[in-house]
Amino acid sequence: MAGPLSGVKVIDLTGVVSGPLATMFLADQGADVLKIEPLGGDITRRSRQTIDKAGNFSALFISTNRGKRSLAIDIKTDIGCEVLAKLIGQADVLVQNFRPGTMERLGLGFEQLRKSHPRLIYVSISGVGDSGPYVKKRVYDPIIQGLSGFADIQSQPVTNRPQMIRTIVADKTTAIFSAQAVCAALYAREKSGEGQHIQVAMLDTMISYLWPEGMMQYTVVGAEATATDPNDRPDLVFKTSDGYITVGTISDSEWRGFCQASGDSKLAEDQRFATPAGRSVNATARINLMGEYIAKHTTAEWLARLDASDVPCAPILRRGEIIHNEQVIARGLIEEFDQPTVGKVRQPRPAARFDVNEAGIQGPAPLIGEHSRDVLRELGYSSGEIDAFVSSGALRVAGEAPPPKRQAS
């Protein structure tokens, strides 16, 4: 399974989630992604809970690093710098998410590499960018949810207390934006022959992502005070007599379909909901009224009625139900494979499907330094040189004794 990015070489200097997930998407699409890890491995190997006795893997690490190779080397050493320089000379893409200024201090900033590597696509992922008063802040996903408006959009309807989304939405969305930008830059390089520096900040990403409907009342300059807040309404979670469903009634035909499914002929005569504008202005009343009807019957009965009337609807699945859902199974959305030291694991198949050069899960997540020897041999180093690197404490090889801890200078 080659994938549309077969032949593209990616150096992955990232850690945690946003960077590793971005490069994993590239690996799914066929790129040769080399994960360069510190000797102790990416911090997410031990995030929350390890799932193997040796402490090599967490579920989060597997789900953001499958299909990659791992080179465990200290890039702050002379040996590490030498090896990395050779790898950069062969790479198409370098992705890093160190705090701004770190790569420059290592002599690996974009401007420092540009002249010697004009075709290199260099990606810098950060929390809030490389400028502004927040540039030195340590940033994680909740910080961006707070700054970007996501916590506000989740506010409790009654108390107006902001709430966090219970998933790392900023990290994962930034990963998608970053992977897409890499593909755009590869296409541009095909035409110009030149690489470029791509900067993707989590804050920039999430404001852009939120804007289309989450910031509608701030779109027209000067009309903010008169615009209706589209989030000042109940959500579309409806309790049935035995579970939960969601229902959409945006178009006139969908609203008429719901009225028909409700069995109440008078509902369609309610002028508050007769037009799309009316249903929007009176959204709270409409949604609460829908909830009263839906509570009277079972999930199965409502889904059958709504499907018969061509109204968008679905059961609200608990996470444990997703892998058994008929649509998920029919689409083959979840795959299983063997993960060394862990056992059989589940992963979602790549969402984008190509009819030529099909993308797919390229293999399990690597052990720390699993490919260190292979990568260095590809660069022309002898077995004796590699052994010396391990002995010096600059290189780690999976299955071999970890290098001695370097003394602080």
Residues 286 and 168 in one domain: no
Catalytic residues: 171
**The domain that contains 336 carries what CATH number?**
3.40.50.10540
Do the domain assignments include residue 232?
Answer: no
Residues 53 and 100 in one domain: yes
Residues 308 and 344 in one domain: no
Do the domain assignments include residue 99?
Answer: yes
Residues 336 and 311 in one domain: no
Residues 306 and 384 in one domain: no
Write out the residue range of the structural domain in which residue 288 sits. Answer: 238-315
Residues 107 and 191 in one domain: yes
Q: With 0-12 CB in 10 A as exposed, 13-18 as middle and 19+ as buried, what is 338? A: exposed
Residues 292 and 203 in one domain: no
- How many domains does the chain contain in total? 2
Do the domain assignments include residue 72?
Answer: yes
Residues 201 and 251 in one domain: no
Residues 116 and 254 in one domain: no
Separation CA 83–CA 374 (nearest Å): 13
Residues 262 and 145 in one domain: no
Q: What pLDDT sits at residue 409?
A: 44
Those residues with Cβ within 8 angstroms of residue 260's Cβ, 6 or more apart along the chain or in another chain: 268, 309
Do the domain assignments include residue 121?
Answer: yes
Strands laid side by side in the 197-201 sheet: 197-201, 121-126, 93-96, 9-13, 32-37, 69-73, 395-396
Do the domain assignments include residue 409?
Answer: no
Both structure tokens of 310: 């061509």
Do the domain assignments include residue 267?
Answer: yes
Residues 13 and 152 in one domain: yes
Q: Per-residue pLDDT tens for 219-274? A: 999 988 776 666 667 899 999 999 999 999 999 999 999 999 999 989 999 999 99
Residues 57 and 205 in one domain: yes
**The domain that contains 275 carries what CATH number?**
3.30.1540.10
Do the domain assignments include residue 272?
Answer: yes
Both structure tokens of 190: 């095909």
Task: Quote the Cα angle for 22-378-390, to 5°.
Answer: 90
Do the domain assignments include residue 245?
Answer: yes
Of 263, 282, 315, the position where a domain reaches its end is: 315
Model confidence, pTM: 0.93
Separation CA 232–CA 6 (nearest Å): 47
Separation CA 9–CA 29 (nearest Å): 12
Residues of the chain under the 50 pLDDT cut? 409
